[in-house]
Amino acid sequence: MRTLTEEHKRKLKEGRERRWKLKANPPELTTPKEIVSAPIAPEIIIPKKDTRIFGSVDRDSKGKITSEFPAWYFDQQKDELERGIAQDKIALDQEAIPYPAKAKFREKLAQREERLNKINEETPKLKGSEQDAISKIREEWGEAIGEAHFTRSQREKGLADAHEEVRRMTEPIIKVTSQRQAEFINECGIKIKDGKITRNEAEKVYKIASKLLEQPTDIEYLRRA
């Protein structure tokens, strides 16, 4: 048997005394002061945006937008592309293409089909809340554009100053009033300058919003009497 020294006996006695004290008076569970005083940050939920105005067919290899409006905006051009593809397929089926030119012909046809497929895939499809937000933006910009145009009466009376008309078209005069507006403007490929955009830029935003909602895009309807 191991012989305990006086030092070991003393440490064992002190240990037993501490355990008995803890059992008799258990410590309260407290939260450190720094944790209590630290504010709990609210959860930030960033909604997923399914609407992308300009797709891959509208951008170069570096992702830069290369067109004024997205490809899906132009119904006539899309219809012409579809008709052209259909005609080319008929020409191939009827052996109307000379054999030496067939390979190149098929290659170009495949490229056009790929473009059409991408346009269809990248055409935005609005959902409930997003549709409501775009509708509100369209209404807000419609009012702003109407106010930035000379009235019909002023034009008929020759009171629409040409220099002022150019200034309104090209200088940032229409104020961006909300974060949602700013996000949509950015999606339309427009840069906001000092919280404003030009009338021409506002009209572009309005037209794209209208097309998304399948509403008339003609700006002339916005002109006041």
Q: What is the DSSP string of 12-67?
A: HHHHHHHHHHHHHSPPP----HHHHHSPPPPPP--------SS-GGGB-TTS-B-S
- Amino acid letter for position 93: D
- The length of the chain in residues reads 225
**Residue 39, pLDDT score:** 37
Q: Does 191 lie in the same domain as 170?
A: yes
**pLDDT above 80 for 216:** yes
Is 105 in the same domain as 135? Answer: no
Q: What is the CA radius of gyration of the chain?
A: 35
The two structure tokens encoding residue 206: 């309005």
**Domain total in the chain:** 2
Predicted pLDDT of residue 13:
64
Q: Assess whether pLDDT exceeds 60 at residue 45.
A: no
How far, in Å, CA of 140 to CA of 108, rounded?
A: 43
**Percent over 70 (pLDDT), the chain:** 77
Least confident interval from 38-42, 136-140, 180-184: 38-42
Helix (H) or strand (E) holding 196: strand 196-197
Same domain, 203 and 147: yes
Confidence band, pLDDT 50/70/90 cuts, at residue 38: very low
Asked whether residue 220 carries a pLDDT value surpassing 80, the answer given is yes
48 within some domain: no
> Is 146 inside any structural domain?
yes
20 occurs within a structural domain: no
* Boundary of a domain, candidates 72, 95, 122: 122
pTM for the model stands at 0.74
Domain boundary among 95, 122, 149: 122
pLDDT of residue 41: 33
151 and 213 in one domain?
Answer: yes
158 within a domain of the structure (yes/no)? yes
Check whether residue 137 and residue 217 sit in a common domain.
Answer: yes
Q: What is the pLDDT of residue 31?
A: 37
Residues 134 and 117 in one domain: no
Instruction: Summarize pLDDT for 16-32 with one digit per residue, the tens.
Output: 666 655 555 555 444 33
In a domain? residue 81: yes
Q: Are residues 116 and 196 in the same domain?
A: no
Residue 180 belongs to domain spanning: 128-222
Q: Are 196 and 175 within 8 A, CB to CB?
A: yes
User: Where a domain ends, among 122, 137, 161?
Assistant: 122
Same domain, 134 and 102: no
Q: What pLDDT is attached to residue 212?
A: 96
Q: Does residue 177 sit within a domain?
A: yes
Does any domain span residue 192? yes
The whole-chain average pLDDT of the chain stands at 84
In this structure, is residue 150 part of a structural domain? yes
91 and 133 both lie in a single domain? no
- Higher pLDDT residue, 223 or 24? 223
Do 136 and 215 share a domain, yes or no? yes
Same domain for 108 and 187, yes or no, is no
115 HSE (CA, 13 A, CB side): 20
Q: What is the pLDDT of residues 157-175, one digit of tens each?
A: 888 899 999 999 999 999 9
Residue 132 shares a structural domain with residue 190: yes
Task: Name the percent of the chain lying above pLDDT 90.
Answer: 73
| Alpha-carbon separation of residue 224 from 3, 111, 154, 180, 215 (angstroms) | 107, 46, 10, 26, 19
